[in-house]
Homo-oligomer: A and B are copies of this chain.
Amino acid sequence: MYFMDRSNPIGVFDSGIGGLTVVKRINSFLPNENIVYFGDTARVPYGTKSNETVTEYALQDANFLVKKNVKLIVVACNTVSSVAMDVLRKKYDIPVIGMIKPGALSAVEATKNGKIGVIGTNATINNKAYSTELKKLDKKLSVLEKACPLFVPLAEEGWTDHKATRLIAQEYLLEMREQGVDTLILGCTHYPILADVIQEVMGRSVTLIDSGTAASTIVETHLHGKGLRNISNHLGFDDFYVSDLPGKFREIAERFLGKKVENISKVDIDYITGLK
């Protein structure tokens, strides 16, 4: 057991780079907090895999962060959040914050006509994670869910403003538009990268919900409530660990966070799989 202190870092993990959209939010909302990030780039993506496999990988990822003495874990991956929250919460004493509940709460606040759309990976959508959470908040909501498996590779390819991306978005989002949803949850931490084209296809009047933003406010609440909010006057550090291809990760992280990213280390995947 280690001593839990305000200056301990926040742990954030994801299957790969998507969780960086969440780091960006935490950086801007809680700039003096330190962050340790783990991206499982040796086994990315998670959204096409089974619940059992995703749960096993998630436990290994979280164990890695716990060994780094984090004071709170952010599951910056909707796929993991949709299947493994109970297992993770049962295992650790520190708070574990997922993407689903914060995103659902924000969507309920934002909708006016009660029609909410959710897009995500196959795993997240098949698990009906968002619709279950939304219906708990308000039974009368009409929820439309759609898996968009090509959005992750398009975001990773960097085709954020490409004709093909627009065409694919038009097809995936057709029913959302026809049904007149006024609020759309980006139920995958990669999707904010494609927010512009998604907004364009959905129209200006539709509110896009980025679960990472919503989760950042919940992180603040938890830390404050436990007396664990960092009180330093300095900017926090971000430490990044990935299980493969640190060079590629750096490139994307710098473009993405809009700053130089120095602290990226590769962790051997054998070490991660050994963290049972």
Contact = CB atoms under 8 A, between A and B. Distances in A.
A163 interface: yes
Contacts of A273: 270, 273
A42 B56 CA distance: 11
Interface in A183-241: none
Interface stretch (A22-30, A76-84, A102-110, A147-155): A147-155
Contact of A269 (B41, B53, B159, B244): B53
Interface in A3-53: 41-44, 48-50, 53
A154 B163 contact: no
A157 interface: yes
A245 interface: yes
B164 A153 contact: no
A163 B49 CA distance: 27
A38 to B, nearest CB: 16
A157 B47 CA distance: 13
A167 interface: yes
Contacts of A41: 49
Contacts of A154: 150
A94 interface: no
A174 interface: no
Interface residues of A, number: 28
A273 to B, nearest CB: 5
A24 B89 CA distance: 46
A49 B153 contact: no
A53 B42 contact: yes
A44 B48 contact: yes
A275 interface: no
Contact of A153 (B53, B149, B244): B149
B50 A245 contact: yes
A157 B150 contact: yes
Contacts of A44: 48
A152 B149 CA distance: 12
A137 interface: no
A15 to B, nearest CB: 11
A257 interface: no
Contact of A164 (B42, B157, B164, B244): B164
A150 B150 CA distance: 8
Given A43-B43, A150-B157, A163-B167, 7 more contacts: A42-B49, A50-B245, A53-B244, A56-B269, A164-B164, A164-B167, A164-B168
